[in-house]
């Protein structure tokens, strides 16, 4: 279980809080969607839960472990798929994955088998010895995903894993995530694809201006909002139509 208690975050030098008094509980084996307009605070929340940045106040635990007391156990427990590609462009797909596996203490034949199985599952086995800088965006996203799950994390965090990919890559990624979830992995992901989130997530939270506005099962939220036919209607209903440009 992931338990988030009263988390707030104000970046150094910022005038306002990016996340304010955020509370949320996510059960084991959920597929949970963090949704919200640009700048709502989704990446900030994911970065805090992955211990990449510290909250200004508040706390969280994952499976009872906290960053303060169980830093190394937490690192083994979670996988992170960042928004940006975290790959070495001049190394091959296989070399990249060997490197990421070794960072979690994996090596030898068992790591090679794991890499090849995942590459096959995600339709990339034929490209395993090609350099990453020859890959399309959709192929890089799939390699990024494999790199984050080689150590079999219990909880997988993904920041917009299907952004900028074609429908074929998107379907393969979602199918792979569903398989991981069936095998016990809890998934927390951010997305701007509301149709995808409606079908994929067991529960979603809509965040705006750093605050949790609503959370629940997609179907329940649709039923609760008068005139809403889908999650996009609920989202617009809650967050409005105004643009969220800021610099
Ligand atoms: N390093 C930083 N320093 C100062 N402010 C930041 C920093 N990172 C993010 N912010 C601000 O915090 C707020 C929340 O940003 P965040 O990236 O968490 O939103 P988001 O919901 O992930 O947005 P998007 O959908 O555009 O990715 C924004 O106002 C953003 O400008």
ipTM, 2 dp: 0.98
Ligand 1 pocket test target in 7, 8, 11, 193 with most atoms within 8 Å of CB? 11
Q: Where are the domains of the chain?
A: 2-20+29-239
Whether 39 is in the pocket of ligand 1, judged by its Cβ within 6 Å, is: yes
Counting from 1 in the atom list of ligand 1, the atom nearest the Cα of 83 is 27
- Torsion angle of C-alpha atoms 144, 203, 220, 234, degrees rounded to 10: -50
CATH of 2-20+29-239, one of 3.30.2020.30, 3.40.50.300, 3.60.9.10, 3.30.70.890: 3.40.50.300
Cβ of 114 closer than 6 Å to ligand 1, yes or no, is no
pTM (whole model) above 0.90: yes
User: Which residue's CA is the nearest one to ligand 1's atom 28?
Assistant: 39
| Buried b / exposed e along 78-97 (16+ C-beta atoms within 10 A) | bbbbbeeeebeeeebbbebb
Q: Counting beta carbons within 10 angstroms of the beta carbon of residue 38, is it exposed (0 to 12), middle (13 to 18) or buried (19 or more)?
A: exposed
Q: Residue 244: its pLDDT value, please?
A: 74
- Residue-level pLDDT at 247: 63
Q: Is the CB of 38 under 6 A from ligand 1?
A: yes
Q: What is the pLDDT along the chain (247 residues), one digit of tens a residue?
A: 999 999 999 999 999 999 999 999 999 999 999 999 999 999 999 999 999 999 999 999 999 999 889 988 999 999 999 988 889 999 999 999 999 999 999 999 999 999 999 999 999 999 999 999 999 999 999 999 999 999 999 999 999 999 989 999 999 999 999 999 999 999 999 999 999 999 999 999 999 999 999 999 999 999 999 999 999 999 999 988 777 776 6
With both helix axes pointing from N to C terminus, report the angle between 108-121 and 93-103 in degrees, rounded to the nearest 10.
130
- pLDDT, residue 242, reads 77
């Amino acid at each position: 279980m992931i338990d988030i208690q009263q988390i707030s975050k104000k970046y150094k030098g910022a005038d306002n809080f990016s996340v304010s008094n955020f509370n949320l509980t996510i059960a084991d084996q959920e597929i949970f969607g963090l949704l919200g307009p640009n700048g709502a605070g989704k990446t900030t929340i994911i970065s805090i839960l992955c211990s990449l940045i510290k909250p200004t106040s508040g706390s969280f635990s994952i499976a009872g472990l906290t960053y303060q007391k169980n830093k190394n156990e937490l690192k083994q427990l979670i996988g992170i798929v960042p928004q940006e590609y975290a790959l070495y462009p001049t190394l091959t797909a296989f070399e990249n994955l060997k490197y990421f596996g070794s960072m979690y203490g994996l090596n030898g034949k068992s790591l090679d088998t794991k890499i090849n199985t995942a590459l096959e599952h995600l339709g990339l086995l034929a490209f395993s010895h090609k350099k990453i800088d020859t890959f399309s965006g959709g192929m890089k996203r799939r390699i990024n995903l494999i790199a984050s799950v080689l150590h079999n994390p219990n909880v997988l965090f993904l920041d917009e894993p299907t952004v900028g990919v074609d429908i074929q890559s998107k379907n393969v990624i979602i199918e792979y995530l569903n398989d991981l979830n069936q095998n016990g992995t809890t998934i927390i992901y951010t997305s701007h694809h509301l149709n995808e989130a409606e079908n994929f997530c067991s529960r979603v939270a809509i965040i705006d201006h750093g605050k949790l506005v609503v959370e629940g099962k997609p179907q329940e939220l649709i039923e609760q909002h008068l005139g809403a036919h889908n999650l996009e209607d609920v989202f617009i209903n809650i967050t409005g139509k105004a643009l969220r440009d800021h610099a």
